[in-house]
Amino acid sequence: EAGVTQFPSHSVIEKGQTVTLRCDPISGHDNLYWYRRVMGKEIKFLLHFVKESKQDESGMPNNRFLAERTGGTYSTLKVQPAELEDSGVYFCASSQTPGYGYTFGSGTRLTVV
């Protein structure tokens, strides 16, 4: 089966611009997660979708971040406007049964300059 696909793999944008990251989960996986690793720090949870509904968005850092999952398939994470501290690697993961391991994508490396 195809894995979790994320694109772009890299994005370099200027402070104040908008960037949209996309994640295509494994087909049939209702659970979709976004995580972020800022340089030198832990990978941190951002939010969790069950189908198209946000189950838990407690990790979203502020209202510059907007995640959507229309139709319960792919998800987008928009950062608007981007700030320097948003730089990092954004990971998406999906699972059929939470708690027993997820399948992660390769991540999107975002650099805000």
Partner 1 sequence: GNSVTQMEGPVTLSEEAFLTINCTYTATGYPSLFWYVQYPGEGLQLLLKATKADDKGSNKGFEATYRKETTSFHLEKGSVQVSDSAVYFCALSKQGGSEKLVFGKGTKLTVNP
Three-class SS state of 41: coil
Q: Is 28 one of the binding residues for partner 1 (CB under 8 A)?
A: no
Q: ∠ CA(84), CA(11), CA(72), 5° rounding?
A: 105
CA dihedral 62, 42, 8, 27 (to 10 degrees): -90
Q: How far is the CB of 23 from partner 1 (least distance, A)?
A: 11
x/- letters, 44..63, toward partner 1 (CB under 8 A): xx--x------xx--x----
- What DSSP designation does 104 have? E
Q: ∠ CA(65), CA(70), CA(76), 5° rounding?
A: 35
Q: Is 90 one of the binding residues for partner 1 (CB under 8 A)?
A: no
**Closest CB to partner 1 among residues 10, 15:** 10
- The CA distance from 108 to 36, in Å, is 9
Q: How far is the CB of 87 from partner 1 (least distance, A)?
A: 17
Among 21, 93, 110, 112, interactor with partner 1 by CB under 8 A: 93
The footprint of partner 1 (CB under 8 A) covers 3-4, 6, 33, 35, 40-45, 48, 55-56, 59, 91, 93, 98-107
